[in-house]
Structure 1
Amino acid sequence: MDTLYFELPLIEWVGYMASTLVLVSLSLSSIVKLRIFNLIGAAIFSFYGFYIDALPVGIMNLIICLFNMYYLRTLLFKKEVFEGICIDKPDKYLRLFLNYHKDDVQRFFPEFKIEQAESSKILMAVRDMNVAGVMLLSDNKNGTAEVILDYVTPQYRDYKTGKYLLRRFKQQLLNEGVNSLYYSELNPLHSKYFQRMGYRLEGESYVLNLNNRAD
Structure 2
Amino acid sequence: MNEVALEWLGYIASAIVLVSLLMSSIVKLRWINLVGALLFGAYGFMILSYPTGFMNLGIAIIDIVYLIKMYGSKEYFTILPITEDHQYLDSFIDFYRDEIEQYFDLENIHIRDAKVKLYILRNMTTAGVFVADEVDDSTLEIRLDYAIPQYRDFKLGKFIFQENKAYFTEFGITSLIAYSYNPLHDKYLRKMGFVETEENGVTKYIFNI
By the TM > 0.5 criterion, same fold?
yes
1:119 paired residue number: 113
CA distance in 2, matches of 1:89, 1:114: 19
1:201 paired residue number: 196
Structure 1 residue 114, shift from structure 2 partner: 8.0
Gaps of 5+ in 2: none
CA distance in 2, matches of 1:66, 1:114: 48
Q: Which moved more, 1:100-109 or 1:201-210?
A: 100-109
Amino acid at match of 2:118: L
Aligned partners of 2:109 and 2:143 also within 8 Å = no
Aligned partners of 1:140 and 1:178 also within 8 Å = no
Q: Which moved more, 1:98-107 or 1:150-159?
A: 98-107
Gaps of 5+ in 1: 3-7, 211-215
CA distance in 2, matches of 1:56, 1:134: 46
- RMSD of Structure 2 on Structure 1 (CA): 1.7
Aligned partners of 1:82 and 1:125 also within 8 Å = yes
Is 1:170 matched with 2:146? no
CA distance in 2, matches of 1:114, 1:128: 31
Q: Which moved more, 1:112-121 or 1:156-165?
A: 112-121
Deviation sequence 1:145-171 (CA, Å, 0-9, x none): 111010001111111111112245422
Matches within 5 A, 1:29-178: 29-87=24-82, 89=84, 91-109=86-104, 111-113=105-107, 116-120=110-114, 121-167=116-162, 169-178=164-173
Is 1:22 matched with 2:21? no
Secondary structure (helix, strand or coil) at the match of 1:176 reads: coil
Structure 1 residue runs of 4+, over 3 Å off? 87-90
Percentage identity across aligned positions? 38
CA distance in 2, matches of 1:169, 1:45: 43
Amino acid at match of 1:205: K
CA distance in 1, matches of 2:85, 2:121: 16
Secondary structure (helix, strand or coil) at the match of 1:83 reads: strand
Amino acid at match of 2:6: I
CA distance in 1, matches of 2:176, 2:131: 11
Secondary structure (helix, strand or coil) at the match of 2:165 reads: helix
Structure 1 residue 93, shift from structure 2 partner: 1.4
Number of aligned residue pairs: give it: 204
2:179 paired residue number: 184
Secondary structure (helix, strand or coil) at the match of 1:21 reads: helix
CA distance in 2, matches of 1:18, 1:144: 49
Q: Which moved more, 1:164-173 or 1:185-194?
A: 164-173
CA distance in 1, matches of 2:60, 2:10: 16
Aligned partners of 1:186 and 1:205 also within 8 Å = no
Amino acid at match of 2:166: Q
Aligned partners of 2:130 and 2:146 also within 8 Å = yes
Structure 1 residue 124, shift from structure 2 partner: 1.9
Q: Which moved more, 1:20-29 or 1:38-47?
A: 20-29
